[in-house]
Structure 1
Amino acid sequence: MSDIVSTAPKQPADETENQIKSPDPRPGAPPEYSSSFVPGPPGPAIPPPAGYPGGLPMGYYGPHQPSTFPLYMQTGSIHPIQYQPGKYPAPQLSAPVVWMPVPTPIPHCPPGLECLAQLDNIHVLQHFEPLEMITGFETNNRYDIKNNTGQMVYFVTEDTDDYTRNAYRTLRPFVLRVMDCMGREVMTMQRPFRCTCCCFCCPSARQELEVQCPPGVTIGFVAEHWNLCRAVYSLQNEKKEDMMGVLGPCSTYGCGSDSVFEILSLDGVSIIGSITRKWNGVLSAMSDADHFEIHFPLDLDVTMKAMIFGACFLIDFMYFESSPPQHSNVHHD
């Protein structure tokens, strides 16, 4: 029999080695905080809602992009999980997440805030993280935003690298991403790092939170004011003009009772609403899984509702975000 000669073209040895080699798995340098919005992965274009001027910025993702959905909203699986009858007990599935019905677009309302425009109070529920209490490792905060009937309105996740979270703890700069029921990022909150080594009355030491809605479009700021005995903030528009004020309690925060932060008019006379940190007993004392209740008028401008919503998170990080205990090898007799 005659020998069989392969007719496939030969590839140079260098090209074959390049195909076998895998990309370098080492991560790059951690990203630095920037006051400007950092867009996510590109998504399909979405037409703007009726009555809202202009188009949607990059980063306002489509509902059919699965990578933008929170983990508990992804119910699909590539391979079905099968259980042999009588061999192992079937898993107990948790109750499904019930979301608030999506309202129709409202003229002159930023996309994604239609639900907020129909509410006069919301509940901010922080997730309890047992890993933080056991290991002392600070993890990204997560929050469920619900209405009075228990329906989910938003889901908020912190986007901060591991080094920044554990090096700066409660003083860390952060980015909070607010997601709606369709997995779209409808709001972004950014807190820059402020040095606390300066005098407390120095403007460079005062905390600030920028609120963007839609992401990339600044609608206002939450600015801290120096005060000797209580928390004082101002809610500002995109031009940093004061619109409302926030006045905290004089007593020590979170000692066996609710802590109420009043939302005041610009003249400081009328009480418009409130941000209340609810006291949950032992859970409030041992962890930072806080529960906030926010009240504001139903007919209040939706942009100012978003600013009050943002002020709640700055208050949480400054006064109620207790850092996990640092374990030490030094033993005292």
Structure 2
Amino acid sequence: MSGPVPTTSEQPTGEMETQMKSPDERPDTPPDYNSHFVPGPPGPAVPPPAGYPGSLPMGYYGPQLPSTFPLYQPTGRTHPIQYQPGKYPAPSQLAPVPWMPRPSPMPNCPPGLEYLVQVDNIHVLQHFDPMELVTNFETNNRYDIKNSADQMVYIVTEDTDDFTRNAYRTLRPFVLRVIDVMGREIMTMQRPFRCTCCCFCCPSARQELEVQCPPGATLGFVAEHWNLCRAVYSIQNEKRENVLRVRGPCSTYGCGSDSVFEVQSLDGVSSIGSIIRKWNGLLSTMEDADHFDIRFPLDLDVKMKAMIFGACFLIDFMYFERSPPQPSS
């Protein structure tokens, strides 16, 4: 028969301290884990591209424009920040849009039109909004204006309320605002509402566009003239005096080919320039995104260049702006 079991008070002091103190399982040095993060090679900070503007137009954002917030360049790091693939684009993948260098002010030139003094060819590219085809909801038009070197010159945005756009569609009155690289509204184009219910040859039914540069100061007008088989416009100065005329083709919609609107002198003898609506194949009939090519002499008066530029938008709304199909009853 075994002897009596010792009680707690009878156990040795060393054993009691061993039971009450938990062992420290932490090693002297942390273990070497195999991390899933593989740092890339070290490299210098990426400087901003040459010719990149210091500021961008305010109130405008789109996939064609770079972010208005500069990319953060860390300091004191050995390796650059690695981005998770498929979730966020790396800074090197964000290609900024090149803008035309800002010209210096010129005498006898409205502010903002100095860009047009240096060019003889500009491209008007309308943005395509696929939601218009899905929802049948007309949205504000947006255009990118580029020169022959594919540099951004202006941004044109429509400022029309939702009810007016969807109630009047292609006949809607509108305000187009032209923004330069500094975010300034350098030009405004306004189209008043003209009722087409009366006789088509009535003067009150003819379309008109007013160009203001700077906004609030009338630069001139683009007035439609009645013609039986083709589009005819007159470009007028601020006193409504005819200066140039625009003569369109007989088949205005130009299915299968470019539509050329020739800018001529008042007597129709000499050709000054042209407004060409480019044919983009089947995309021209499916998408509401037009492409215009405007050509004029390099030494032409800059005010007349701006007026030819404004005539392009009146032509677009009258002949090439397509409304989403309405559901039948």
- Shared fold, TM over 0.5: yes
Write out aligned runs for 1:233-312 (5 A). Answer: 233-312=233-312
Q: In 2, are the aligned partners of 1:66 and 1:74 still within 8 Å (CA)? A: no
Q: CA deviation at 1:282?
A: 1.4
Assess if the C-alpha contact under 8 Å between 2:232 and 2:247 holds in 1: yes
Change over 3 Å in CA distance of 1:200–1:86 after alignment to 2: closer
Aligned AA for 1:145? I
Give the 5 Å matches for 1:47-126: 67-68=58-59, 70=61, 72=65, 74-76=67-69, 86=84, 89-91=87-89, 93-126=93-126
The one-character-per-residue Cα deviations of 1:168-206 (angstroms, maximum 9, x if unpaired) are 000000000000001100000000000001111111000
User: If the length of structure 2 is used for normalisation, what is the TM-score?
Assistant: 0.76
> Any stretches of 5+ residues in structure 1 without a counterpart?
1-62
Letter in structure 2 aligned against 1:324: P
- Equivalent residue letter for 2:262: E
**Match of 1:181?**
181
Gaps of 5+ in 2: 1-53, 74-80
Match of 2:217 in 1: 217
CA distance in 2, matches of 1:180, 1:220: 20
Displacement of 1:86 in angstroms is 4.9
Q: Name 2:143's counterpart in structure 1.
A: 143
Count residues in correspondence. 265
Output the CA distance in 1 between the equivalents of 2:289 and 2:277. 11
Check whether the contact 1:70–1:183 (CA below 8 A) recurs between aligned residues.
no
Aligned residue type for 1:136: N
Structure 2 distance, partners of 1:305, 1:252, is 23
CA-CA distance at 1:90 after TM superposition: 2.8
Aligned partners of 1:224 and 1:234 also within 8 Å: yes
**In structure 2, how many angstroms separate the alpha carbons of the residues matched to 1:325 and 1:163?**
17
Residue 91 of structure 1: how far off its partner (Å): 2.4
**Is the contact between residue 69 and residue 184 of structure 1 (CA under 8 Å) also seen in structure 2?**
no
| Letter matched to residue 226 of structure 2 | W
Partners of 1:234 and 1:187 lie apart in 2 by 20
Alignment root-mean-square deviation, CA: 2.3
Aligned residue type for 2:193: F
Structure 1 residue 267: Cα displacement? 1.2
Structure-1 residue corresponding to 2:39: none
Deviation at 1:76, TM superposition (A): 2.1
SS at match of 2:257: coil
> Structure 1's 183 and 111: CA in aligned 2 closer, same or farther, altered over 3 A?
same
Give 2:101's aligned amino acid.
P
| Counterpart contact for 2:252–2:319, Cα < 8 Å | no
Partner of 2:308, secondary structure, is helix
CA distance, structure 2, for counterparts of residue 67 and residue 279 of structure 1 = 32
1:87, 1:264 → 2: CA distance? 55
The answer to whether residue 162 in structure 2 is matched with residue 162 in structure 1 is yes
Distance 2:222 2:84 in 1: 58
* TM-score, L = length of structure 1: 0.75
SS in 1 for 2:326: coil
Query: Is 1:69–1:182's contact at 8 Å kept on the other side of the alignment?
Result: no
Query: Percent identity, aligned pairs only?
Result: 74
Q: Which amino acid aligns with 2:173?
A: P
> Quick check: 1:263–1:274 contact (8 Å CA) kept in 2?
yes
The equivalent of 2:36 in structure 1 is none
Instruction: Report the AA paired with residue 111 of structure 2.
Output: P
Inter-partner Cα distance in structure 1 for 2:101 and 2:258: 31
8 Å CA contact 2:211, 2:219 repeated in 1: yes
Structure 2 contact 124–292 (Cα < 8 Å) conserved: yes
Q: Tell me how far 1:302 sits from its aligned partner.
A: 0.2
Q: Which amino acid aligns with 1:75?
A: T
The answer to whether the Cα contact below 8 Å between 2:177 and 2:188 also exists between their aligned partners in 1 is yes
